[in-house]
Chains A and B, each alone.
Chain A
């Protein structure tokens, strides 16, 4: 026998179910008057620094149908590459930018939309720069453990080509699943849960 290590096990995940909006975006779901406003609906204010962007997209199932009950959260650095987080030790992030957004897919179309700023460069753990990116987390009915992925920018070809995460992807044909499309002034980032274009999801 040895001494016990005394680690605990992480609480098992369960699906967010079809009514995740009641808890996470209650005003959107029709439960009004409990919370003043839904969390994560605005990431910026009129003093936020950086280039304003709109990111929109949908989450598709294995038959190509858009999910209408998904909840998408994003987390990103500010325009200078700092996270608005107590764990950010490198410097002070823009106080007028939260870095975190939450959006319920539209109940008819399934589309999510984020009004944010383009993130700056964040270093990888060995100091190499990571190309500008936004972390995505997707939950819904039928998803047992929330899915992590990243969106990169189509106008950052040089930075993307040396990004330490993108270059780790063994099948290069899958890299484009992480790169948004420019659509007018917006970026479109569609997420495919299955199929030929299945998005690269991370165990991270």
Chain B
């Protein structure tokens, strides 16, 4: 058991030098969508320290199986079969249990199943591209999917997104809410991408690159990549209940 008191404190402030700034002009869309005034810094209140909880009852049998959750009976999507797994922990290293993780991605050809998507690569009739799961008591999660392809996007005239999977994560408190992207070890497009380069340091970018994990592959079936996720930690409340005076 973790110390329950410790789990009630305010979250550590977000390290804005580690996170990408709002305005990153090489990623052009950020220019008109980045607040220009300073953020109002506030210690958490109950409104940020609390957050919704999602029960396992919302999760269907195939929600963490993107290989099967859109495929027609007896058919399979095209592409490299992979398992993605890891732990959700906080900045103290404590497991975040019961975290809802949602994922979305392009298919093996780099094409998204979306009304507004126009890339010429074809849709895969057996691949939807979304999934979700809830972390267990140790913060552990896993899902399987097809490795997404890189794709071109309208920013510079020849910008390409490295292969990536989008993640949305809920922790225990709404202040921990996070959306990010997972990249794949060895992809040379990572270091050319203006969205990746929005992150100030190479060290922080590396936190988004999942290594190939031969220890968790399924022989003759699927490769594996490990992706651990760190959410904001909570401050200690060890002296908060001490009575001063009365």
Contact = CB atoms under 8 A, between A and B. Distances in A.
Interface in B21-35: 21-22, 24, 27, 29-35
Interface in B97-130: 102-104, 112-117, 128-130
A145 B177 CA distance: 10
Nearest to A83: B50
Contact of A63 (B32, B52, B62): B32
Interface in B7-26: 7-8, 10, 12-16, 18-22, 24
Interface residues of B, number: 89
A6 interface: yes
B216 interface: no
A26 interface: yes
Contact of B39 (A22, A84, A141, A201): A201
A9 B204 contact: yes
Given A62-B33, A140-B33, A24 B52 contact: no
Interface in B183-209: 195-196, 198-199, 204-205, 207-208
B53 A85 contact: yes
Interface of A: 6-24, 26, 29-31, 33-36, 39, 61-63, 67, 69, 73, 75-77, 83-89, 98-100, 107, 122-125, 130, 133, 135, 137, 139-148, 150, 165, 168-169, 174, 193-194, 198-204
21 contacts: A7-B91, A7-B233, A8-B89, A8-B230, A9-B15, A10-B178, A13-B19, A13-B180, A26-B104, A34-B70, A62-B31, A62-B33, A85-B52, A87-B172, A125-B44, A133-B47, A139-B179, A143-B33, A144-B27, A194-B33, A204-B42
Given A35-B130, A99-B52, A198 B179 contact: no
Interface of B is mostly: loop
Contacts of B90: 8
B26 to A, nearest CB: 12
Contacts, number: 273
Contacts of B46: 83, 88, 122-123, 125
Contact of B41 (A86, A142, A204): A204
A26 to B, nearest CB: 5
A26 B130 contact: yes
A33 B70 CA distance: 7
Nearest to A86: B53
Which 10 A-B residue pairings sit nearest by Cβ, starting from the closest? A23-B104, A142-B29, A142-B33, A85-B50, A100-B52, A203-B39, A83-B50, A62-B32, A144-B20, A22-B104
B67 interface: no
A14 B36 contact: no
Contacts of A69: 116
Contacts of A6: 93
Contact of B48 (A7, A36, A143, A204): A204
B217 interface: no
B146 interface: no
A12 B20 contact: yes
Interface of A is mostly: loop
- Which of B35, B113, B233 has the most chain A CB within a 10 Å cutoff? B35
Interface of B: 7-8, 10, 12-16, 18-22, 24, 27, 29-37, 39-54, 58, 60, 62-63, 69-70, 89-93, 102-104, 112-117, 128-132, 166, 168, 172-175, 177-181, 195-196, 198-199, 204-205, 207-208, 229-233
B97 to A, nearest CB: 11
Contacts of B51: 75, 85, 87, 100
A30 B32 CA distance: 28
Contact of B58 (A17, A39, A204): A39
Contacts of A14: 20, 166, 179-181, 195-196, 198-199, 208
B33 A87 contact: no
A74 B81 CA distance: 36
A9 B180 CA distance: 14
Contact of A22 (B60, B114, B174, B198): B114
A193 B34 contact: yes
Given A22-B104, A135-B47, A203 B13 contact: yes
